[in-house]
Amino acid sequence: MKKRVIAAFDFDCTITDRDTFLPFMRFVVGTPTFVLKLIKLSPVFIKHITGNVPRTVVKKEVIKEFLAGKKANEINSLAKEYSQTFAKLLRQEAKDRIKWHKSQGHVVILVSASLEHYLEPWANSNGFDYVFGTKLEIDNEGKLTGALKGSNCYGPEKVNRILEVYPNKDELIVYAYGDSKGDKELLEFAHHSYLRTWPNDENL
C-alpha cells in the first residue's frame, strides 16, 4: 500500500521570523493598552521566567486579560485582518519547503500553539490542507470567555491533533518542521525532522 506523505509545520519562528501571539494582542487593543496590560501581567511573566509557572498558565492569563468579554465575531474579523500582515514575516526557506511539498502532492499541515483564529485564514489562503492551533472558548452570547477551548496546541498536543485525522502512523510518511522544545514530540513523531534553532525558546 502506498503511504500518504504529510508535512507538518510549526508557525512562529519556523515559518515566520518571530512570535505572532503577543503582537496579536497589541493589534487588538492598541499599543498604550497593550503596555499597561503587560505591566499588570508582569508578575506571572516573572514567575514563568523563574520556573514557577508553566507557559500554558501564562498564556491563559494573557488571553483572559486581553480577550475576555470581547465579541468573538469582532476578534475573528481582526484575526483575519492581522493574518494579512504575515507576508512580510515569512522565512524564504520555509516558503520553499511548503512549495516543494505542495508540488509533490503531499498533505501540508500547519500545527501551532498560536491562535487558530488568525492562523486559519492565512493557511487557507496559502494552500494548507489542515490547520491545528490553539482555540478560544466562546460563550452562549458569542463572547470570548477568556479561556481556551480544549488544550494549548503545544508539545504532545501537536501530535494528538494530527492523530485525530490520521490515526495510523504506519500508513504515513511524516515530515516535520519546528524550532523549539514545543515541537519536540512532533519532531520525534516524524520520519524526517527539521529543527531550526533560535535563541528565543519562549513562544507561548
Look at residue 203 and tell me whether its pLDDT is greater than 60.
Answer: no
pLDDT for residue 122: 98
Look at residue 108 and tell me whether its pLDDT is greater than 90.
Answer: yes
Nearest to 5 by CA among 88, 93, 103, 74: 103
The model's pLDDT over 7-65, given as tens digits with 9 standing for 90+, comes to 999 999 999 999 999 999 999 999 999 999 999 999 999 998 998 888 889 999 999 99
pLDDT for residue 197: 59
pLDDT for residue 191: 95
CA angle (178, 63, 54) in 5-degree steps: 60
- Percent of the chain at pLDDT > 90 equals 89
β partners of residue 192: 175
Mean pLDDT value across the chain: 93
Query: Residue 29: is it exposed, middle or buried by C-beta count within 10 angstroms (0-12/13-18/19+)?
Result: middle
**20: Cβ contacts below 8 Å, ≥ 6 apart:** 11, 12, 86, 89, 114, 118
Look at residue 201 and tell me whether its pLDDT is greater than 70.
Answer: no
pLDDT for residue 198: 43
| pLDDT band at residue 202 using 50, 70 and 90 as cut-offs | very low
Which numeric CATH code is attached to 4-195? 3.40.50.1000
195-200 average pLDDT score: 59
Q: Which of 5-9, 156-160, 162-166, 191-195 has the lowest mean pLDDT?
A: 191-195
What is the torsional sign of CA 198, 184, 110, 26? negative
> What is the edge-to-edge ordering of all strands in the sheet holding 4-9?
144-149, 130-138, 107-115, 4-9, 172-178, 192-195
CA-to-CA separations, 130 to 16, 51, 165, 183, in angstroms, rounded = 18, 34, 9, 17
